[in-house]
């Protein structure tokens, strides 16, 4: 199977993860405001499973290191299966709430608040599990990201007053989703051997772990998303017929969103051996800055915000850049 052989390449893979995780939500915007996020999310999940399989039978089955994808799946213990599967379930519940927050409050709020919180807590959880990197630099970086989240939340409260939306709804969805999001990576990392060249028996290589993780997302979606369709946060209840009434374009866009996200997840997991889970996860979740950029400058989500929000948005970007820089440097 293919593995990463240097820290610098691992950082590059983490940067690609950051771009993927920060950009996939644009596909929800492209699907159109008339295509509800609950319907979009089915295609998004399908895209994740499809990409996990493609990577498993290509990158995960070629090369001189480790095990092939099929061999990896057959040798793994029930504990490893359970951990990767639970990671998928936890991620799915968290991500549905984040996507709901995007639909309600926009990318420039849902990502910095929700995924920013996930970054802060996730780095702490993953560092406690596998202590790799300079803790002082790592935690100062995390503190700066936490401050960036506060700046964004304050800016959104000002914006919400102009569009007559309840700011507590968007922030609550993002915060609960972010809290849950901080734990999924820990479960997936625990299911894997962190020696990819000579993987430990009973544990997954990255490709097997990501695939079982994606199955956890898919199966739990029949519970979580079905409930949301029947009891939506906003709008009328939906049925399966509403999903199948969608045009091919909106289904394609949703699947593309899942593929983009899963490229990021796969690259992040591959980078974990050289960078360590805390740095790999933390840098990948720098997606908050990328998503905020899309939301502020491309989708103009703060176009009607009061002028005094501009310094809060600018401060948020600056703090994110400084925080992410320290997270990267912590592993050098």
pLDDT means per 10 residues in the chain (332 residues)?
91 92 89 90 97 97 90 97 98 91 79 81 82 86 86 79 69 90 92 91 96 98 96 90 95 97 95 85 79 83 80 90 85 66
* pLDDT, position 332: 61
Q: From the CA atom positions of the chain, what is the Rg in Å?
A: 19
User: Look-up: residue for tokens 């800055």?
Assistant: 289
Extents of the domains making up the chain: 7-329
Question: Which letter does DSSP use for residue 199 in this model?
Answer: P
Q: Could you report the per-residue pLDDT of 53-109, keeping only the tens digit for each?
A: 999 999 999 988 889 999 999 999 999 999 999 999 999 999 999 888 887 878 777
Q: Read off the pTM.
A: 0.85
Do the Cβ atoms of 35 and 250 come closer than 8 Å?
yes
Tokens matching residue 307: 């002028």
What's the CA gap between 35 and 28, in Å, rounded? 9
| Contacts (Cβ under 8 Å, ≥6 apart) of 131 | none
Give strand pairing partners of 192.
204
Question: Which letter does DSSP use for residue 114 in this model?
Answer: I
Give strand pairing partners of 204.
192
What's the CA gap between 126 and 145, in Å, rounded? 16
């Amino acid at each position: 199977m293919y593995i990463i052989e240097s820290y610098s390449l691992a950082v590059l893979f983490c940067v690609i993860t950051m771009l993927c995780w920060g950009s996939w939500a644009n596909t929800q915007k492209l699907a159109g405001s008339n295509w509800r996020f609950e319907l979009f999310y089915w295609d998004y999940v399908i895209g994740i499973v499809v990409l996990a399989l493609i990577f498993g039978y290509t990158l995960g089955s070629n090369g001189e290191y480790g095990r092939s994808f099929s061999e990896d799946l057959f040798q793994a213990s029930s504990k490893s299966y359970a951990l990767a599967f639970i990671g998928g379930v936890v991620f799915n519940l968290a991500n549905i709430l984040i996507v709901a927050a995007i639909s309600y409050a926009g990318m420039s709020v849902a990502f910095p608040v929700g995924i920013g919180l996930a970054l802060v807590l996730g780095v702490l959880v993953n560092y406690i599990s596998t202590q790799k990197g300079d803790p002082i630099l790592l935690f100062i970086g995390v503190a700066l990201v936490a401050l960036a989240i506060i700046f964004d939340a304050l800016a959104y409260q000002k914006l919400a007053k102009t569009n007559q939306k309840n700011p507590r709804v968007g922030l609550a969805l993002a915060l609960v989703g972010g809290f849950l999001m901080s734990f999924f990576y820990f479960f997936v990392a625990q299911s894997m051997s962190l020696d990819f060249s000579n993987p430990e028996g009973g544990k997954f290589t990255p490709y097997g772990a990501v695939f079982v993780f994606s199955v956890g997302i898919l199966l739990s979606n029949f519970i979580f998303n079905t409930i949301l369709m029947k009891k939506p946060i906003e709008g009328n209840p939906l049925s399966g017929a509403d999903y199948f009434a969608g045009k091919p374009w909106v289904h394609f866009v949703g699947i593309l969103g899942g593929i983009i996200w899963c490229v990021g997840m796969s690259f992040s997991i591959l980078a974990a051996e050289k960078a360590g889970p805390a740095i790999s996860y933390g840098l990948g979740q720098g997606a908050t800055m990328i998503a905020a950029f899309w939301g502020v400058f491309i989708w103009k989500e703060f176009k009607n915000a009061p002028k005094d929000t501009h310094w809060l948005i600018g401060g948020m970007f600056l703090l994110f850049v400084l925080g992410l820089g320290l997270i990267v440097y912590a592993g050098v």
